[in-house]
A = this chain, B = another copy of it.
Amino acid sequence: MASTLEKLAEHVDGKVFGNADVSIDSVATLPNAKTGQISFLTNPLYRSYLATTSASAVIVNEFIQDADNVNQLVVDNPHAAYARIAQVLYPRQKHVAGIDATAVISENSRVDASASIGANVVIAEGTEIGKDVCIKANCYIGRDVYIGDDTLIYPNVTILDEVRIGQRCIIFPSAVIGADGFGHAYDDGGWLKIPQVGTVIIGNDVEVGSSTSIDRGAIENTVIEDGVKLDNQIQIAHNVRIGENTVVAAGVGIAGSTTIGKNCMFGGMVAVSGHIELTDNVVITGKSTVTKSLNQPGSYSSAIPVESSRVWRRYVGRFKRLESLFKRVTDIEKTLKENKD
Contacts and interface: CB of A to CB of B under 8 A. Distances in A.
Interface of A: 26-29, 32, 77, 79-80, 82-84, 86-87, 89-90, 100, 102, 104, 118-120, 122, 136-140, 154-156, 158, 160, 170, 172-174, 176, 179-180, 182, 184-195, 197, 205, 207, 209-211, 213, 215, 219-220, 227, 229, 231-233, 235, 237, 245, 247, 249-251, 253, 255, 268-269, 271, 273, 283-292, 294, 298-310, 312-316, 318-323, 325-326, 328-329, 332-333, 335-336, 339
Oligomer copy total: 3
Contacts of A291: 286, 303, 305-306
27 contacts: A29-B219, A79-B186, A80-B185, A90-B195, A90-B197, A122-B155, A154-B160, A172-B180, A176-B210, A182-B209, A182-B232, A189-B245, A210-B215, A231-B235, A251-B251, A271-B303, A291-B305, A301-B306, A302-B312, A304-B304, A305-B316, A314-B323, A318-B323, A328-B329, A329-B329, A332-B333, A339-B339
A211 B209 contact: no
A140 B140 contact: no
Contacts of A122: 118-120, 137-138, 155
A27 B233 CA distance: 31
B329 A83 contact: no
Contacts of A323: 314-315, 318
